[in-house]
Chain A
Amino acid sequence: MTHNYKNINYPNMQLIGLVALRVLIGWHFLYEGLVKVINPNWSSAGYLMDSQGFLAGFYQSLATNQSVLPVVDFMNMWGLMAIGLGLILGCFSRIALSGGIILLLFYYLSHPPFVGLKYSLPMEGSYLIVNKNLIEMAALIVLLLFPTSKIVGIDRLIFRRKNK
């Protein structure tokens, strides 16, 4: 998946579409991070304990280990913030996109909408196998394959000299 950015070019409307998608997902991440950072009582413990599916034991062990839980909480809060900023600003986009994909995969696997699994935390829609986490993850993969940050984004300035 090594791209030669020099050869990437998009017609205007495609570029606008891709950048818009990047910024919207970035907004979502950044705001999710913000609300967690400003809430002193926020913890991922309840969410992790609600995990179902074949990895439930792993997620629950994260929640019940009092030395691991703060790390998970920290990575969630600041990871979401950093990814959000990266996507909106187009700054170190590849890292932000990869981080976002991993994070969403974690979320998806902790609460997979598979047949027969029931969650105590309410879902805001109806899902079967595919949910919004999976779709957002797919969208980030698309953005990884169709990078825009070196056209519109701070990466344009950062990688300018290197690529020259």
Chain B
Amino acid sequence: MEQENKPEGPSNNRHGNIDRREILKGLATVPVLGALFYGWYRKQKFDNLLKTAIREEVKLMDDNPAYNRTVSNERQIRLGIIGTGGRGRSLLKAAGFLRPELIDEYIEGAKNDKSDTRYAEFLDQPDLNVVVNGLCDIYDLNAEKGLNACANPKRTGTKDEVSKRPTRYKNYKELLAAEDIDAVIIATPDHWHGTITIKAAKAGKHVYCEKPMTWTVPETYEVVKAVNENNIVFQLGHQNRQTESFFKAKEAYEKGLLGPVNLVEVTTNRNDPEGAWVYAIDKEASRNNIDWEQFIGPAPYHDFSLERFFRWRCWWDYSTGLSGDLFTHEFDAMNQILGLGIPNSAVASGGIYFYKDGRSVPDVLQQVFEYPDRDLTLIYSASLSSNKMRGKMIMGHDAYMEVDNDLKIYADSGSTKYKDKISSGVIDPSLPLYSFTPGAKHVDAITSATEQYFASRGLLYTYRGGKRVDTSHLHIKDWLDCIRGGGKPSCNVEEGFEEAITAHMGTIALRENRKVYWDADKKLIV
């Protein structure tokens, strides 16, 4: 301790050259670097060994799924839209049409908040080369909003000039008879989906219809018949068909990563009035600007009611309840990943436990579907009064998979397939065997609770090449590609039939309080 260390001093020789002692003191800590890099090299080697071993097991591509279809969009497609409420206008946006007032709002939003990228993203959305020639909505204000959107193909604000507005038809039948319309988007309440689809198909128009495909069982068969007989291109509005993580999930399942899958659990959890279909009622709305008789259509007659008009999802008279409205999203995702098809049987229970506001559809619902041929049970569990997030869970003997906008696969501690690798420490059941997070480098700003719900379920947007894209845009593009270049859309009438029948089985089981079966030979619900 007596010896003192000085930066300068006796170790320098007279000539000012650096002697050996100097250099040693200068570089004394360099070996530490060597140690760190050696340690790092060992760690990398070890990690790589694990990764290689896991990759051999997993055999999934590291890269994003490839999208091969390239169809020229040279030919312009002339659209008509029936129903320009909230969902209808979202679809118009996905097709490239947004009201100038909203563009102003987007521009203003981007000015005030740099994370607000709605404007840039909308401008980035590829042009689908479509024009909207006809529009039908039975509520004047919604029709007005829709017309303004359609007249803005250049995506400009209110300061700029707009194009010609499409024709507004007071009745959907007139729209379907129009010569200058090739294809229609149907975004009406559920009780109109089947009727309009059938009429549109018979009029030779291609159809993009919102989910669920039908409101009643009999019309489900008629839709299939009309679509097939008239040879039209039909796309059901399950935009999850475009979600990147679901492609990966399908790949993982088909490669047998999960082993035998015996239980699948899908859920809905929302906890805000809008999520429970208690939508705002426009102050301007009245008997004078709503065509109530046309709204009722195939539904049982009821006196004019603003509540019923705006919150139609709360009544069986117009709605398909949780099963048709939200279970169908979950079912179609599972049908996409696992190829489930129609179940052999269904039971259901639930009730109106929280929203005692006069509605007739339950806000809590459980449905259990059996697939004995697949040795598999599908459970749906929903609450509109709890936000507890429960992912889509596919449980296999060897691994389980949690999939929504991202995908995680965990080896099961009791797995047979991974037994050796688990006991040798190569696979750790507490860590994902495989995980896929599209667009990992981005932060996503989502505004409302219901939007967050849809985003988390992979229904609002997905990624292509690391870039965020509206899934509905891709889904409409898929439909247009098939109209132009042939082929079947990703959620065509066959998948639609499976979706509708399954949802109806759940609803019948609930409303008739019995176990419902599917007679696959006769193609009948019994």
Cross-chain contact A163 with B7 (CB below 8 angstroms): yes
A8 to B33, CA, bound (A): 26
A-B contact pairs, 28 of them (CB 8 A): A5-B8, A9-B4, A9-B5, A10-B4, A11-B1, A11-B4, A12-B3, A27-B32, A27-B36, A30-B33, A30-B36, A43-B441, A45-B442, A45-B443, A65-B114, A66-B442, A88-B29, A88-B36, A151-B7, A152-B26, A153-B29, A154-B27, A155-B26, A156-B25, A157-B26, A157-B27, A164-B8, A164-B16
Across the A-B interface, give the 8 residue pairs with the lowest CB-CB distance, nearest first.
Answer: A64-B115, A150-B7, A157-B26, A9-B4, A156-B26, A11-B1, A65-B114, A9-B6
Check B28 against A64 for contact (C-beta < 8 Å): no
Q: A23-B32, A88-B36, A89-B30 are in contact. Are A152 and B443 (CB under 8 A)?
A: no
Whether B22 lies near A157 (C-beta < 8 A) is: yes
Given contacts A8-B6, A160-B18, contact A45 B33 (CB under 8 A): no
The answer on a CB contact under 8 Å between A152 and B1 is no
Prevailing SS type, chain A contact patch? helix
A90 contacts the other chain (CB 8 A):
yes
**Distance in angstroms between the alpha carbons of A31 and B4 in the assembled complex:** 33
Q: Indicate whether B61 reaches chain A with its CB closer than 8 angstroms.
A: no
- Of listed B8, B44, B437, B445, residue having the most chain A CB within 10 A: B8
A19-63 vs B, Cβ < 8 Å mask (1 yes, 0 no)? 100010011001100100010010101100100000000000101
Residues of B within 8 A of A23 (CB): 29, 32
B23 at the interface (CB under 8 A from A): yes
Q: How far is the CB of A28 from chain B (nearest CB, A)?
A: 10
A38 vs B210: C-alpha distance when bound (angstroms): 45
Interface string of B430-446 (1 = CB under 8 A from A): 00000001001111010
Residues of A within 8 A of B (CB): 5-6, 8-13, 15, 19, 23, 26-27, 30-31, 34, 38, 41, 43, 45-46, 49, 61, 63-66, 69, 85, 88-90, 150-157, 159-161, 163-164
| CB atoms of B29 and A19 under 8 A apart | yes
- Cα–Cα distance between A17 and B4 once the two chains are bound (Å): 14
Q: Are B29 and A151 in contact (CB under 8 A)?
A: no
Query: Are A157 and B18 within 8 A (Cβ)?
Result: yes
A160: chain B residues within 8 A (beta carbon): 8, 12, 18, 22
> Is B2's CB within 8 Å of the partner chain A?
yes
- Do A64 and B445 touch (CB < 8 A)? yes
Q: Smallest CB–CB gap between B405 and chain A, Å?
A: 15
Chain B proximity of A125: nearest CB distance (Å): 20
Within B7-26, which residues are at the interface with A (CB < 8 Å)?
7-8, 12, 16, 18, 22-23, 25-26
Contacts of B12 in A (CB 8 A): 160, 164
For this complex, into which size category does the number of interface residues on chain B fall? 20 to 34
Chain B residues in 8 Å Cβ range of A152: 5, 25-26, 28-29
Contact of A65 with B36 in the complex, beta carbons under 8 Å: no
Q: Report if B277 contacts A (CB, 8 A).
A: no
Q: B26: which A residues are within 8 A, CB to CB?
A: 90, 152-157
**How many Å lie between the Cα of A95 and that of B5 in the bound state?**
23
Contacts of A63 in B (CB 8 A): 443
B40 at the binding interface (Cβ < 8 Å): yes
> Which residues of A sit under 8 angstroms from B29, Cβ to Cβ?
19, 23, 88-90, 152-153
Question: Quick check: is B450 within 8 A (CB to CB) of the other chain?
Answer: no
Assess the A156–B441 pair: CB atoms within 8 A.
no
Encoded as 1 (CB less than 8 Å from any A CB) or 0, chain B from 45 to 86 comes to 000000000000000000000000000000000000000000
Which residues of chain A are within 8 angstroms of B44 by Cβ–Cβ distance? 38
Question: Cβ of A64 and Cβ of B114 under 8 Å apart?
Answer: yes
CB neighbours (8 Å) of A12 from chain B are 1, 3, 5
Chain A residues near B335: list those with CB within 8 A. Answer: none
Contacts of A8 in B (CB 8 A): 6-7
B117 within 8 A of A: yes
CB of B318 to closest CB in A, whole Å: 40
Determine the chain A residues whose CB is within 8 A of the CB of B445 once the complex forms: 64
- In the complex, chain B residues whose CB is within 8 Å of the CB of A151: 5-7, 25
CA distance A5 to B8 in the complex (A): 9
User: CA separation between A66 and B442, bound complex, in Å?
Assistant: 8
User: Are the C-beta atoms of B6 and A156 separated by less than 8 Å?
Assistant: no
B104-116, CB under 8 A of A: which get 1 and which 0? 0000000000110
With A8-B7, A12-B3, A65-B114 in contact, do A41 and B441 touch (Cβ < 8 Å)?
yes
A88 partner, pick from B32, B115, B441, beta carbons under 8 A = B32
B30 / chain A contacts, CB cutoff of 8 Å: 89
| Cβ–Cβ < 8 Å partners of A13 in chain B | 1
Most B-side CB within 10 Å, residue of A27, A64, A159 = A64
Give 15 new A-B contacts, CB below 8 A, not counting A64-B445, A150-B7: A5-B7, A5-B8, A6-B8, A8-B6, A11-B2, A43-B440, A61-B114, A63-B443, A64-B115, A88-B36, A89-B29, A152-B28, A155-B26, A160-B22, A164-B12
Complex Cα distance, B442 from A150, in Å, reads 44
Which residues on B sit within 8 Å (CB–CB) of A161? 16
**Measured CA separation A49–B444 after assembly (Å):** 10
Cβ of A64 and Cβ of B443 under 8 Å apart?
Answer: yes
Instruction: List the A side residues contacting B440 at CB < 8 Å.
Output: 41, 43
| Interface residues in B198-213 (C-beta closer than 8 Å to A) | none
A45: which of B7, B36, B114, B441 is its contact (CB, 8 Å)? B441
